[in-house]
A and B are shown apart, each in its own frame.
Chain A
Amino acid sequence: MIRNSVGLHVPEPCSRPGETPDFSHIEVPPAGSMPRPAVDAHAAGMRDFAYGLIRVLDDEGRCQGEWDPQLSSDVLIKGLRAMMLTRAYDARMVRVQRQGKTSFYMKSTGEEAVAVAATMALERGDMCFPTYRQQGILVARGWPLVDMMNQVYSNSHDRLKGRQMPVFYSSREAGFFSISGNLGTQYSQAVGWAMAAAADGNRRISAAWIGEGATAEGDFHYALTFASVYQAPCILNVVNNQWAISSYSGIAGGENTTFAARGLGFGIPALRVDGNDFLAVYAVTAWAAERARSGGGPTFIELFTYRAEGHSTSDDPTRYRPATEAAAWPLGDPIERLKQHLVVHGHWSDAQHEALQRDLEDEVKAAGKLSESYGTLKEGDRLPAATMFDDVYRDLPPHLIAQRAQSGVLA
């Protein structure tokens, strides 16, 4: 909380390296305590949803309250599988980065539900505008791991032709929009995409993701303004994982309010959700999708979660937060919580879980071997360097033809 004081106030997290993690300021309301409004509810009457926390799974793994999406065990196991596959994929790609086979990687550990559950609540034709930490979207849509790995390795089969840093995937076919290093830019583009879909009246919608740190960018505000003005059929997600590299969420403006509350000022229904609760993320996304598809306009969702690992392979989080902080996170782990739910209801067992884990690791390993056979950043096949001049424009202009000839990379 902001204290009254003279002088410049600079927010500080509750604990730093060497200190005991402290999440006592985080209020965790009981699962099922928030009602589920009608999908055509007016934003002005939904204030409490921006400050509360929608939760479905309780501590025993049982569903509570009106937000229970009542999904079949098949769908839940599919979601569990996609989250576990995302985590297994992340684990391998960090290993190969440490081995020098690629330059960089970013895990999404602890945030798998934010991508997977939301994607499963969308239709395949809906366009996702992710950040670099929603690889779970591609996994949930069954996109081949080999293709993702080819991008990470910048190898001879990389569809992005070795031009992008690792994890900046793009798949038009999977409805996964090209990732940019510039933060926030896709958030506002997603609104434009939804405006175009609305102009065509085809009931397709877009979904965008942004981290809580990047909400401080201008594009965040452009997106909310345009979404509100044109009632664009889109879902604007803020993944509040508490950390923007080394800066805690207070530095992004979260010290004395919620990120969801920002949506209210734009007249957009804003809901704050337990981001580690697969069922809650699914239910709220489905609510927002139905609202958008039926002409109800945009929805703003804060997904409250925790970035369990470092920001990237270039980051050491023990330099700015307690090493044990992730374990103390009060909302737990999305995979463990969904697993518990399935086990409690007799749809899953520890033995099945372990067997699936082994299968997924084998699947990742096999994909990795295949992808590495197409080359890695440092070894094996690669695309001809002359391709670096292609696709700057649709057609190669005269000055690039001249530079390509001059470069000596034609061979």
Chain B
Amino acid sequence: MTAMSMIEAINSAMDVALGRDPDVMIFGQDVGYFGGVFRATDRLQQRYGKTRVFDAPISEGGIVAAAVGMGAYGKRPVVEIQFADYIYPATDQLISEAARMRYRTGGEWWSPITVRSPYGGGIYGGQTHSQSPEGIFTHVAGLKTVIPSTPYDAKGLLIAAIEDDDPVLFFEPKRLYNGPFDGHHDRPVQSWAGHPDADVPEDHYVVPLGKARIVRAGQDVTILAYGTMAHVALAAAQETGIDAEVIDLRTLIPLDLETIVASVSRTGRCVVVHEATRTSGFGAELAALVQEHCFFALEAPVERVTGWDTPYPHAFEWEYFPGPLRLGEALKRTMRL
């Protein structure tokens, strides 16, 4: 075990994948020589050579298209979109091509590609360095969507994503790259050092896709969270004193419905929290599923604590970001406190 930040864990996952499978190829903007604007691919080109880890033109559509073609050839491409906010030029390739390849060919071709992309807010990233577009992709049949919240999960989930034969969107909460963050922006920045989930094996391991993690066991209410919000949820539970069960979904598609239903059926209450805007966000799907599967166990309406239905603002970062205070209020409402 080594203490790793999330960025180091992600780097380690790609190092392991490159070492184990000669068909793994990594490319994206500034990914090669420079090692990525967030250092995620640091030293990988020096270690594995330019034909396996290389820089790409500023063309998200072209990057994903090339990955789809390489996947059809038999490679296992892992590409980076520098910010999730810039994934939109690639949506035609992701939605119309990668997601449908296996289906439309009756299983003759598929897209074993992984698209890594830093995502989420809380960094004064403004409109185009803060977005959480996961709901756009969870709506697409054929794609898998993964969002880690700890270094341990980030490495295990990324290796699982790379080894998966289906196209996986791997959104990395960049606010968590260097340390956990619970939404208390006025407190000193923490690093991952000393955090139990920052103990990361140097070798190969996987965290299976489609399995949620119970971060905190509780009896009163279930909080469904992922990414940075898993840490916010933990803080809100501690600060309100409400015995909340915090579930980190880890994978949105496929979703671990079993763990969700078991928890809400027991607690009878559910609060969904995500950074993304509310309307038609993934929280709507979660609330609907809880209503369908836990209706007779529910003792209160399912609450959603989310980003507002506005573009992500710069100056009003902390009025926008769903922090522990807002989540705490929702928990109290749900408990009718």
Contacts and interface: CB of A to CB of B under 8 A. Distances in A.
B105 interface: yes
A171 B106 CA distance: 11
19 contacts: A127-B72, A127-B73, A160-B104, A163-B103, A163-B106, A171-B108, A172-B109, A189-B66, A192-B65, A192-B70, A193-B72, A197-B73, A218-B61, A226-B66, A391-B102, A393-B102, A393-B166, A397-B254, A399-B254
A199 B25 contact: yes
A190 B69 contact: yes
A192 B97 CA distance: 14
Interface in A137-165: 158-161, 163-164
A120 B101 CA distance: 27
B191 interface: no
A219 B65 contact: yes
A343 B211 CA distance: 70
A243 interface: no
Nearest to B112: A394
A180 B69 contact: no
Contact of A178 (B89, B104, B257): B104
B65 A170 contact: no
Interface in B146-203: 164-166
B255 interface: yes
A191 B61 CA distance: 13
Contact of A177 (B72, B255, B257): B72
B62 to A, nearest CB: 3
A163 B142 CA distance: 14
Given A178-B104, A185-B93, A226-B59, 20 more contacts: A127-B73, A188-B65, A191-B65, A192-B65, A192-B70, A192-B71, A193-B70, A194-B69, A196-B73, A196-B75, A197-B73, A218-B89, A218-B92, A222-B61, A222-B65, A225-B59, A225-B62, A226-B65, A392-B141, A398-B257
Nearest to B52: A199
Interface in B32-89: 51-52, 57, 59, 61-62, 65-75, 77, 89
A226 B58 CA distance: 10
A222 B74 contact: no
B274 interface: no
A21 B96 CA distance: 38
Nearest to B51: A199
B107 interface: yes
Contacts of A391: 102-103, 106-107
A159 B108 contact: yes
Interface residues of A, number: 45
Contacts of A364: none
Contact of A222 (B52, B59, B257): B59
B239 to A, nearest CB: 34
Contacts of A199: 25, 51-52, 75
A170 B92 contact: no
Nearest to B49: A199
A116 interface: no
Contact of B69 (A164, A181, A193): A193
Contact of B142 (A195, A196, A390, A392): A392
Contacts of A399: 254-255, 257
Contacts of A129: 69
A406 B228 CA distance: 35
B144 interface: yes
A165 to B, nearest CB: 10
A111 to B, nearest CB: 24
Contacts of A181: 96
B259 to A, nearest CB: 11
Given A160-B106, A190-B69, A193-B72, A394 B165 contact: yes
Contacts of B97: 180, 182, 185, 189
A300 interface: no
B106 A159 contact: yes
B68 A192 contact: yes
Nearest to A225: B57
A214 to B, nearest CB: 12
Question: Counting chain A CB atoms within 10 Å of each CB, which of B69, B92, B102, B103 scores highest?
Answer: B69
B210 interface: yes
A344 interface: no
A168 interface: yes
A397 B102 CA distance: 15
A159 B105 CA distance: 8
Contact of B66 (A182, A195, A394): A195
Nearest to A172: B108
Given A222-B65, A229-B57, A168 B70 contact: no
A342 B231 CA distance: 77
A388 to B, nearest CB: 9
A229 B93 CA distance: 20
A377 interface: no
A185 B165 contact: no
Interface in A277-319: none
A84 interface: no
B56 to A, nearest CB: 8
Contacts of B102: 391-394
A170 B68 contact: no
Chain A CB within 10 A, most for which of B74, B89, B92: B92
B104 A168 contact: yes
B282 interface: no
A295 to B, nearest CB: 14
Contacts of A226: 57, 59, 62, 65-66
A223 interface: yes
- A-B pairs, 9 with minimum CB distance: A192-B69, A222-B62, A192-B66, A188-B65, A189-B69, A196-B73, A397-B254, A193-B69, A182-B96
B320 interface: no
Chain B CB count within 10 A is highest, among A127, A177, A193, for: A193
B110 interface: yes
A48 to B, nearest CB: 29
A196 B166 contact: no
